[in-house]
Structure 1
Amino acid sequence: MKNLIILGLSSLLICLSCQNNKNLSNEVTVAGTIENHDQTVLKILDVMGRGSWEDVVPVTENRFSINLTLERPAIKTLMYGDMRKDIFLQPGKSLEVSFDALNIENSFRYGGDLKIENAVFDSISQRLGNIDYSYLYTQPLDLTSLYMDSLKNDSKEYLKSLLNKYITSPYFEEYANASIDYNVAYLKIMLGDSQEEQYAGYYDFLNELKIEDHDLLDMPDYRMFLYFYLEMETNKRYKDLDSIQNQTADAKFYETLKTIENLKDEEVRAYSLYNTMLMQLKEFGTVDFDRHFGYFNTHNLDERYAEQMRFAYEEKKRIAPGQPAPEFTLEDVDGNQVSLSEFKGKYVYVDFWLTTCSRSARELPYFLKLYSDYKEDNIVFVSISPDKDKNTWLDFVKEKRNVGTSLWSDKFLDSEVTKNYQVLGTPTYVLIDKEGNIIDPVAAKPSSKEIRETFDLLLKSK
């Protein structure tokens, strides 16, 4: 679920009065140039309280421009293929972006009114991203805590040195400092959760933070912090359940809802309820979700979230169990075009994966064993990779996973097949029946006992 968390961001405000907001123009322009544009879709991601998650930005002759209406400073996510950049925006200001599609990492540049803010933010983000996780997860918590505190202090000193050199928006300065605080805080919660026990005082850093702050809801690091904080509090409640209660279906989910009910800030509570319901829907689909939908409709007080939930629910229903599986025709390792309809009369287990995905790599040995155990049965194994580089995919398949039917899809996660199957991350597994209808749009992974039990049950029913 964690990889599905925080898909997009909208407005951001720290210490900005309503009077000041009224004096700002609501228009902000994001424009730029993409060298070697290859028809990859450029998008601005924004999921908070909206019926649609993304704005597609038209690119004409390598140029693009879009005007956004903002009531206050905001952070949005700019997406191009597998590239994601959080960009700081402010009403009445402009941002220019340029990059070479063949070498995005080394060619990305900012310009316009918000050139300095975004260059500084990008630099801080990269600094916070240079974390040695292999070290952190092998060390005791007292050492990892010191490591994270050092990272926080170093990042703040670095930010201070940059702000001493350049004039930036006061809103940005406060945002950048808070972003560092909550970034380190949610990582500390993650590290603490990875250990069975935490030393006395480990979570004292939470006393330095405002846990519930609706003004920060549109800050990505705060929203990540809020997610992991609620998960931590839910785990405490879950551990207090008896052996019968914790075996109840969706027991942990219901404890999460109770944790959310205890939040004092109405806007934070509304967002947390929405986000938790959305993740439940995306991970487990529409089966048995009607009762959760009823709870949401009773407790939600924000029409924006109601609209978003209705949109997500209707989208998910398109690939609900019993619905026709979306047709696809893709290229296999030999250059042949292969369609889903060719497998009618057989069960189809579809694996969406990427060569660069660590979770896909962890499941690979189990996928190969599952294929080996069921390859003589009436089950077809179809692997679909939307890898950006076709040759990388081809070499990987031939060397490590040339079993079943391996297919390649272009345009990364913007491809038609990944959109039709609502693939938000990899690996994602889908199970299709002999008539071409969906059995499970979020099927069990190869390493689980559940998928073997499902296969055996299907094969017995023939």
Structure 2
Amino acid sequence: MKKYIYAPITLMMIFLFNSCQQNEIFLTGTVEGSDSTIVAISDFIISDTPDTIVVKDGKFSHKINIEHPGYYYFIYGEELKMIFLAPGYDLNIAIQATDSTTNYTFLGKGDLENNTLQKINKELDKLSFNQIESIPFNSRTKYIDSLFSALKNNFSNSVKHKKIDPIFVNFQKKYFDYNGAMLKTYFGLQSDIKDPSYFKFVDDLDLNNGQCLGIPVFRWFLDYHIEYLLEENLSKMDSIKRDQEGVRIIAKFEVIKNYENKIIKEYLMFTSIKQIIEYEGVEGFKKVKSYYDDFVKQDKYRDYIQIILNKKLLISKGKPAFNFTGIDKNGKEVQLKELNGKIVYLDFWATWCKPCKAEAPFNTLLSDEFKGKGIQFVSISIDDEKNLEEWKNFIKEDKNILHLRITKDKMKELTDAFQIKGIPTYMLIDQNGNFINSAAPRPSSSEIRQILNQLTQK
């Protein structure tokens, strides 16, 4: 009797063992011309939690398991190199570093695919976004189509007689398709195109293949496609409802909810929730928790959400704000703690940031309106030293805003401490130097006036 019980279990264990082996990838390599002791590998989905690989005596060796083929980051120092990995690859990466360049050579199973990919990436690096943008809009779509069609044809011809992984070939062709689609969708949104026929090219794309998540430009395209569908849905609402707080966020999640493919739907839910937490913190997560509970099931997604939630708790209401030191326009150092006794409205910005500069006049009006009411407006520039004069010229008319800049050596410490993922970012600090809100509304919003009025009436 026992043998009939154990036999299926034994077969299952053999199956699981073989499955794990089939998903394994072996990465080995050498590093020359550098003292670097670490390299790393990461997917494009959770790219800021890389799998670290130790380099010892100029060599490294690592084994990883992947579920599906796709593109990954290979991280060396500050360089991010896109590589292609598929189950069963046994890849050797030889890195030769000089003062000016870093060369990568691939050997072993997966070498032809990755050496081919590096040549393609060099061609793609030559593309100029500004050049494409400078082409008149009516001709731009045709130009993008011809550009990526030529790249795709050249690639097909170059691999025609080679023993190259057909999965890689298929992925790379889709890479060209989605790259073109991403650019066309982006420019369509930027130009506020109302004619739905402009977006007809989307009908020819495969939007329900979960394995395409292994293609980074497919995921970037999805972001823009969701924005298009969102704008389409919002345009059908009356203006009063559309402008209500939180409507846009919920409308976006309802768009994602309608995606057919469960794998893609879960990924989009995860990335959208992640973005909400990064910009609005724990309070933002509460707004969309029902979508998290219903649609985000994979452990890797849920674990990551928990990590960033725990991190956001460090800058949640009541937690002490980092006591940074900034330099004002006269060269004087100012610390945050010197402002204790006042409510502080922090604005992180830069002169090269268009949305930041668009908000600046509203910030000036707000600072004038609340002058003498116990609120200190502080704008913190993260500009490089080369933009110093531009910064001084831009801020010279502000009388009720304390303008500070951060030196390069203290920039990372500041952005890490305040968990700044993008600019503009606004925060509120209380009279004791503790956070009121690490994701405060923008100066142009109606909400910020309500919040400041409530704070000054206490």
| Shorter-chain TM-score range | 0.7 to 0.9
Aligned partners of 1:343 and 1:380 also within 8 Å: no
**2:24 maps to 1:29:** no
Where do 1:91-170 residues align within 5 Å? 91-96=88-93, 98=95, 100=97, 103=100, 106-113=101-108, 114-128=110-124, 130-133=127-130, 135-136=132-133, 139-141=136-138, 143-164=139-160, 167-170=163-166
Residue equivalent to 2:306: 310
Question: What secondary structure does 1:173 align onto?
Answer: helix
CA 1:66–1:409: 2 relative to 1, 3 Å: farther
Aligned residues: 430
- Higher share of residues assigned helix: 2
**2:399 maps to 1:400:** no
Choose which of 416, 424, 434 in structure 1 pairs with 2:421: 424
Residue equivalent to 1:180: 176
Aligned partners of 1:31 and 1:65 also within 8 Å: yes
Residue equivalent to 1:6: none
| CA apart distance, 1:422 | 1.9
Q: How many Å separate the matches in 2 of 1:98 and 1:332?
A: 44
Q: How many Å separate the matches in 1 of 2:111 and 2:350?
A: 34
Q: How many Å separate the matches in 2 of 1:58 and 1:438?
A: 38
Question: What secondary structure does 2:227 align onto?
Answer: helix
Aligned-residue sequence identity (percent) comes to 23
CA 1:443–1:200: 2 relative to 1, 3 Å: closer
Q: How many Å separate the matches in 1 of 2:362 and 2:75?
A: 31
**2:280 maps to 1:284:** yes
Where do 1:60-79 residues align within 5 Å? 66-79=62-75
Residue equivalent to 1:213: 209
CA 1:277–1:166: 2 relative to 1, 3 Å: same
| CA apart distance, 1:229 | 1.9
Q: How many Å separate the matches in 2 of 1:243 and 1:135?
A: 34
Question: What secondary structure does 2:214 align onto?
Answer: coil
| Structure 2 residues not aligned, in runs of 5+ | 1-15, 396-402
Question: CA offsets per residue over residues 277-303 of structure 1, 9 Å max, x none?
Answer: 222222222225324213321343434
CA 1:25–1:320: 2 relative to 1, 3 Å: closer
| Root-mean-square deviation over aligned CA pairs | 4.2
| CA apart distance, 1:237 | 1.6
| CA apart distance, 1:437 | 1.1
Q: How many Å separate the matches in 2 of 1:183 and 1:336?
A: 48
Aligned partners of 1:333 and 1:394 also within 8 Å: no
Question: What secondary structure does 1:326 align onto?
Answer: coil
CA 1:27–1:331: 2 relative to 1, 3 Å: farther
- What residue identity is the alignment partner of 2:26? V
Q: How many Å separate the matches in 2 of 1:37 and 1:430?
A: 40
Aligned partners of 1:348 and 1:432 also within 8 Å: yes
Question: What secondary structure does 2:273 align onto?
Answer: helix
Q: How many Å separate the matches in 2 of 1:315 and 1:241?
A: 36
- What residue identity is the alignment partner of 1:27? I
Q: How many Å separate the matches in 2 of 1:321 and 1:151?
A: 50
Q: How many Å separate the matches in 1 of 2:414 and 2:429?
A: 15
Aligned partners of 1:34 and 1:63 also within 8 Å: no
Q: How many Å separate the matches in 2 of 1:361 and 1:99?
A: 41
Q: How many Å separate the matches in 2 of 1:58 and 1:333?
A: 45
CA 1:398–1:66: 2 relative to 1, 3 Å: farther
Task: Select between 109-118 and 208-217 the one with higher mean Cα deviation.
Answer: 109-118
Q: How many Å separate the matches in 2 of 1:168 and 1:187?
A: 28
Question: What secondary structure does 2:237 align onto?
Answer: coil
CA 1:443–1:33: 2 relative to 1, 3 Å: farther
Q: How many Å separate the matches in 1 of 2:64 and 2:427?
A: 37
Q: How many Å separate the matches in 1 of 2:196 and 2:98?
A: 49
Question: CA offsets per residue over residues 420-459 of structure 1, 9 Å max, x none?
Answer: 322223443433222111233233456x355973796488
Aligned partners of 1:31 and 1:66 also within 8 Å: no
Choose which of 422, 437, 443 in structure 1 pairs with 2:434: 437
Choose which of 361, 380, 385 in structure 2 pairs with 1:383: 380
CA 1:296–1:364: 2 relative to 1, 3 Å: closer
- What residue identity is the alignment partner of 1:400? W
Aligned partners of 2:44 and 2:71 also within 8 Å: no
Aligned partners of 1:44 and 1:77 also within 8 Å: yes
Residue equivalent to 2:269: 273
Aligned partners of 2:230 and 2:252 also within 8 Å: yes
Question: What secondary structure does 1:110 align onto?
Answer: strand
**2:242 maps to 1:246:** yes
| CA apart distance, 1:358 | 4.3
| CA apart distance, 1:35 | 4.7
Q: TM-score, normalised by structure 1?
A: 0.76
Choose which of 186, 189, 195 in structure 1 pairs with 2:185: 189
Question: What secondary structure does 1:68 align onto?
Answer: strand
Aligned partners of 1:25 and 1:92 also within 8 Å: no
Question: What secondary structure does 1:310 align onto?
Answer: helix
Residue equivalent to 1:9: none
Aligned partners of 2:36 and 2:55 also within 8 Å: no
- What residue identity is the alignment partner of 1:408? T
Q: How many Å separate the matches in 1 of 2:415 and 2:338?
A: 19
Question: What secondary structure does 1:286 align onto?
Answer: helix
Q: How many Å separate the matches in 1 of 2:66 and 2:455?
A: 55
Residue equivalent to 1:390: none
Choose which of 220, 225, 244 in structure 2 pairs with 1:224: 220
- What residue identity is the alignment partner of 2:211? D
Task: Select between 252-261 and 298-307 the one with higher mean Cα deviation.
Answer: 298-307
| Structure 1 residues not aligned, in runs of 5+ | 1-17, 388-392
- What residue identity is the alignment partner of 1:267? I
Q: How many Å separate the matches in 2 of 1:36 and 1:384?
A: 34
- Higher RCO (CA-CA < 8 Å; seq separation 6+): 1
Q: How many Å separate the matches in 2 of 1:358 and 1:426?
A: 7
Residue equivalent to 2:9: none
Q: How many Å separate the matches in 2 of 1:334 and 1:66?
A: 53
Residue equivalent to 1:234: 230
| CA apart distance, 1:43 | 4.9
